[in-house]
């Protein structure tokens, strides 16, 4: 490759070093992304690479080094329809990003980051046993788990809205991202976050 050629942002980098001037899907800038939640900022990585071929999979706690966009793609693959179909799922996210931009005129990467921050629950419950009695107890959620939960809610919301429906998965995902970034409680991801925190508040 000559020095004048532009690397394909959809292909995995040969090393951990990524060109910060490259664009995600050859369109969206990943620089100047604003973070409003300092606790999750270090766990929301934004890179122009949408497919790393799982090079961090064997390393514990290294998933946070993968692009948040790729982690969303991986989460969307956890359904019967999309299992193992990363190319198709990447196309879904790419088209959802186009819809987000058309509706908001904002960088969809920024919309995704804000949506993840808004949908990340701060509290949840665990069950403790005291003398054979199971008692719910509220606990703070670790920042990395908060990001995991937010991605789960976004993916589940897109699946719920598009399953056996005339709404396409691209449209459903775009609506989840826009709604969550605006903290719309009618959005599945925000509704699930509020429910988890409500249950935790009752268990304090």
Residues 6+ apart with CB under 8 A from 144: 43, 61, 64
Q: Is the pTM of this model over 0.85?
A: no
Which residue is listed with tokens 């054979």?
Answer: 132
Domain boundaries, the chain: 23-118+142-196
Closest CA to 191 of 141, 156, 142, 144: 156
pLDDT value at residue 120: 96
Q: Per-residue pLDDT tens for 9-65?
A: 454 444 455 555 678 888 898 888 999 999 999 999 998 877 777 666 667 677 888
Which residue is listed with tokens 């969550």?
Answer: 180
Q: Per-residue pLDDT tens for 127-182?
A: 888 888 888 889 999 999 999 999 999 999 999 998 888 889 999 999 999 999 99
Give the angle 173-63-138 at the CA atoms, nearest 5°: 80
Architecture, CATH, for domain 23-118+142-196: Orthogonal Bundle (1.10)
């Amino acid at each position: 490759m000559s020095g004048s050629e532009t690397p394909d942002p959809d292909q995995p980098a040969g090393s951990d070093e990524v060109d910060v001037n490259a664009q995600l899907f050859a369109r969206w800038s990943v620089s100047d992304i604003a973070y409003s939640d300092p606790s999750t900022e270090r766990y929301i990585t934004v890179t122009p690479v949408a497919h790393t071929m799982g090079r961090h999979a064997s390393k514990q706690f290294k998933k946070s080094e993968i692009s948040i966009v790729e982690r969303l793609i991986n989460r969307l693959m956890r359904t019967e329809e999309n299992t193992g179909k990363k190319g198709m799922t990447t196309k879904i996210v790419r088209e959802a990003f186009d819809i987000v931009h058309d509706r908001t005129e904002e960088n969809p990467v920024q919309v995704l980051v804000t949506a993840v921050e808004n949908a990340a629950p701060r509290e949840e419950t665990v069950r403790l046993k005291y003398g054979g009695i199971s008692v719910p107890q509220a606990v703070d959620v670790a920042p990395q788990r908060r990001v995991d939960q937010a991605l789960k809610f976004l993916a589940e919301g897109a699946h719920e809205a598009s399953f056996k429906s005339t709404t396409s998965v691209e449209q459903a995902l775009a609506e989840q991202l826009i709604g969550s970034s605006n903290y719309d409680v009618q959005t599945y991801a925000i509704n699930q976050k509020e429910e988890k925190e409500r249950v935790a508040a009752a268990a304090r």
